[in-house]
A = this chain, B = another copy of it.
Amino acid sequence: MRTTIKELLSDYKKILHHDITVQGWVRAFRSNRFIALNDGSTINNLQIVVDFEQFDENIIKNISNAASLKIVGEVVESQGAGQSIEIIAKKIIILGDNFTEERDKTILQPKKHSLELLREQAHLRFRTNLFSAVFRVRSSVSFAIHQFFNQNQFFYMNTPIITGADAEGAGEMFGVTNFDLNNIPRDENGDIDFEQDFFGKKTNLTVSGQLNVETAMMGLGRVYTFGPTFRAENSNTTRHLAEFWMVEPEVAFNNLEDNIDLAEDFLKYVINYVLENCKDDLDFLDKRFAEEQKQKPEKDRASEGLIEKLQNVLEKRFKRVSYTEAIDILKNSKENKKGKFQFPIEEWGADLQSEHERFLVEKHFECPVVLFDYPKEIKAFYMKLNEDGKTVAAMDVLFPGIGEIIGGSQREDKFDVLTAKMKAMNVDEHELWWYLDTRKFGSVPHAGFGLGLERLVLFVTGMTNIRDVIPFPRTPHTAEF
């Protein structure tokens, strides 16, 4: 394959004073002489030096922002600051159309644009420094996830996207149908005749692959699913998407402590991978983050820089705190006593809100925190009942600035206990017959968790709106592109 600008800039010794061919897009053209050329492989531009007297006027005229060029030229060491090499252009070819008048009505016009405007032109924002960096980092995060699991002998499973089950109750679901909505067939009772729909039943988009991945765990031991999941919830916040990507590992023979260890190792592996493999993009994002902080009132500024924050996560062991201890800390906190929480903590059993999680992580412990052993009433039916009879072996990993980044549990592996809990919590046993089979035939202790990919990418990039870390966000009233 062709040499990229990334490769050129990092390994140019052998080609110094040779002619090479490069292709890319113009990011800037200064003084009719210096082209900053970018090909997407790195945030760094390659400088092309043009002696404009040697080229057709028409070509020079068409070298403008966003134009696509093919350049043949000699590689020389750069005299200027900020780059190791530059190319003395010998041949310049304009590769395709560039409608400059229309361009100047888009975000490709070279000036600073708001994130809102960039979002409205999501199909073009890959071409900015900021979003190319964010999406290169997102790609690295995804690859690191696959590599971590592969190295640890996990098998990647694709759990179904369209599901006939709606029993898990993790959230509101989107319906999937092949019906002509103007002409929905009815049965003799006048009810919708789903028998005539594509799948012969009512179907939805999945909210989680967990129940399916548990069945695969029973055969393959260590498995994970990594795919899109959906919530039809009308949440217009900076933290919610209707379509997002989720990673869900499930491990046979793991208990809650193993599960917490796995989550911690996993997060550290991914963050370390990005630190090692996305240096240029992180430097850019780190500078941007610092500048964003300067705009804020002093009390709201982050205490650490972006890269510093990532490095700190690697260095400390996550603080492990039981729900019961956390409630004590919260109840006795100054914040609680002075009525500063929107939801005051009065007693054991309270569901923790984002404000409580952030207090624990950002004020009290000042490091990532793992909360475990939650009251059974506030957690899902499949979580393992502890011996105390009132808590379940659940765990949440809380990150600074993000809150919950991972939620998981050891699963209830005893058939009788699980079915009793399903009855108590109104989960349809009949519909989940296949899930119950995992507890009937060689049931094993096992545990797993879920990580929302976009939350992790927010953390790693320092972005603050979840719509800015997925290429084409789907939110209430938005499904553009």
Q: Name A residues whose Cβ lies closer than 8 Å to a Cβ of B.
A: 1-2, 4, 6-7, 23-26, 39-41, 66-68, 70, 95-99, 102-103, 106, 108, 123-128, 131-132, 135-136, 138-139, 142-143, 146-147, 150, 152-153, 155-165, 172, 174-179, 181-182, 184, 192, 198-201, 203, 205, 212, 215-222, 227-228, 230, 232, 234, 242-243, 245, 252-253, 258, 262, 413-415, 434-435, 437-445, 470-472, 474, 476-481
Q: Which residues of B sit under 8 angstroms from A161, Cβ to Cβ?
A: 161, 205, 228, 230, 243
Could you tell me the distance between the alpha carbons of A253 and B37 in the complex, rounded to whole angstroms? 14
- Closest Cβ of chain B: how far from A1's Cβ, in Å? 6
Q: With A123-B438, A160-B481, A199-B474 given, can you name 18 additional A-B contacts, CB distance below 8 Å?
A: A1-B153, A4-B221, A4-B222, A41-B222, A98-B442, A99-B441, A102-B441, A123-B435, A126-B215, A126-B216, A135-B157, A135-B219, A147-B147, A160-B471, A174-B176, A177-B177, A199-B476, A199-B478
Contact residue among B147, B163, B471, B481 (Cβ-Cβ distance under 8 Å from A434) = B481
Question: What are 30 sample pairs from A and B whose C-beta atoms fall under 8 A apart?
Answer: A1-B258, A25-B218, A39-B221, A41-B220, A97-B439, A97-B442, A97-B443, A98-B440, A98-B441, A99-B415, A102-B441, A108-B441, A123-B212, A135-B220, A136-B220, A138-B158, A142-B156, A143-B156, A159-B471, A160-B243, A160-B472, A162-B242, A164-B480, A165-B481, A174-B178, A175-B179, A176-B205, A198-B476, A212-B472, A434-B480
Could you tell me if A155 and B139 are in contact, using CB atoms closer than 8 angstroms? Answer: yes
Task: Report the 6 A-B pairs with minimum CB-CB distance, sorted nearest first.
Answer: A126-B219, A96-B443, A40-B221, A199-B479, A40-B220, A68-B442
Could you tell me if A95 and B445 are in contact, using CB atoms closer than 8 angstroms? Answer: yes
Could you tell me the distance between the alpha carbons of A401 and B7 in the complex, rounded to whole angstroms? 40
- Closest Cβ of chain B: how far from A372's Cβ, in Å? 19
Could you tell me the distance between the alpha carbons of A2 and B413 in the complex, rounded to whole angstroms? 20
Contact residue among B39, B435, B477 (Cβ-Cβ distance under 8 Å from A199) = B477
Could you tell me the distance between the alpha carbons of A434 and B342 in the complex, rounded to whole angstroms? 43
Could you tell me the distance between the alpha carbons of A4 and B234 in the complex, rounded to whole angstroms? 44
Q: Which residues of B sit under 8 angstroms from A124, Cβ to Cβ?
A: 215, 218-219, 437, 441
Could you tell me the distance between the alpha carbons of A172 and B203 in the complex, rounded to whole angstroms? 17
Could you tell me the distance between the alpha carbons of A103 and B23 in the complex, rounded to whole angstroms? 63
